[in-house]
Amino acid sequence: MIINRANLEALRTGFKTNFQAGIALAAPASGPLTTDVSSSTKIETYGFLGDLPIFREWIGEKKIRSVEEKSYQLINRDFEATLGIHKTKIEDDNLGLYGPIVSGWGQDAGNLKDQLVFEALSLGHARACFDGQNFFDDEHPVGEGVASNVSGDGTTAAWYLVDLSKALKPILYQARKAPSFAMVTDPEDSHVFKTGEYLMGGEARGAAGYTLWQLAHRCTGPVNAANYEAAYNAMAGLKNDEGEPLGIRPTHVIHGTSTRAAARTLFEAQNKAGGESNIYYKDVTLIEARRLP
């Protein structure tokens, strides 16, 4: 191949097509978990309600709930993949492996949301949410007391019970810059002059954080009926600062690879091992997060 701007542009177009094809191969599983927002700055600051607003009978004056600014900030993170192609490989048409490499970048970029969302979920016991407590914590302030959204004895990898029936989802996904591909196509570029390499790569920016802790529960005990009932009842019993029930009803269980069999046995088997009916069959929908242990 003769190296000139026209041929380099054609090469860039081909690699960009590979990148987009890779994005199309991505199969993120985290979509139902997130409330998606666009971002225009490096750091976004959010205000949230102290707890979920509910409809109540209007007797006397209205109870006005205001949005409290808790200075919850989410910082966008930068992601990239960069590779240099030496000009001799271009001249010799020795480019066979580069297309699949770029497609792989695109597939990774397409799954970036999963990476960020399930990372946020798995680290929710160590990262703060809007009330200043960790997202998964046993001391969330509610009225004059505290409430918990954690349970279990630490004997298994964490699994999560969530309510995805609300308009607001438990995980906040902040999209700053969609995945994009670029390649240097200027033969006079200074890096090309110094190294003989034409640089190409993909970039994306974004972050994942939290909305309302009441919408999710973390359990580190076995996936069994007792632990499910305890987690379910804890969520369903949550109230707001005035003692009014929030109406939380868990809809999904998120599990990793090590708890997959137990989750499927509890929620997707119509009958127990002895033949009797399984009352938890299809009680919730399973989301398998392969990034979780």
CA 52 to chain CA centroid, nearest Å: 22
Q: What is the mean pLDDT of residues 60-78?
A: 71
**Percent of the chain clearing pLDDT 90 (strictly above):** 83
Q: Tell me the residue range of the domain where 242 lies.
A: 5-52+66-288
Residue 55 has pLDDT above 80, yes or no: no
Please give the torsion angle defined by the CA atoms of residues 219, 220, 223 and 224, in that order, rounded to the nearest 10 degrees: -80
Task: State which amino acid sits at residue 28.
Answer: P
Burial of 88 (0-12, 13-18, 19+ CB in 10 A): exposed
Q: What is the mean pLDDT of residues 227-251?
A: 94
Structure tokens at 84: 């240099």
Number of domains in the chain: 1
Write down the pLDDT at residue 241: 82
Within-domain flag for 173: yes
Write down the pLDDT at residue 164: 98
Within-domain flag for 293: no
Within-domain flag for 60: no
Residue 47 has pLDDT above 80, yes or no: no
Q: What is the mean pLDDT of residues 265-277?
A: 95
- For 124-182, the pLDDT digits (tens) are 999 999 889 999 999 999 989 999 999 999 999 999 999 999 999 999 999 999 999 99
pLDDT band for 70, please (50, 70, 90 cuts).
low
Within-domain flag for 61: no
> Which residues, other chains included, contact 16 with Cβ-Cβ below 8 Å and sequence gap of 6+?
181, 183
The secondary structure of the chain, three-state, reads CCCCHHHHHHHHHHHHHHHHHHHHHCCCCCHHHEEEEECCCCEEEEEECCCCCCCCCCCCCCCCCCCEEEEEEEECEEEEEEEEEEHHHHHCCCCCCHHHHHHHHHHHHHCHHHHHHHHHHHCCCCCECCCCCECCCCCEEECCEEECCEECCCCCCCEEEECCCCCCCCEEEEEEEEEEEEECCCCCCHHHHHHCEEEEEEEEEEEEEECCHHHEEEECCCCCHHHHHHHHHHHHCCECCCCCECCCCCCEEEECCCCHHHHHHHHHCCECCCCCECCCCCCCEEEECCCCC
Average pLDDT across the chain, whole number: 92
Within-domain flag for 171: yes
CA 81 to chain CA centroid, nearest Å: 20
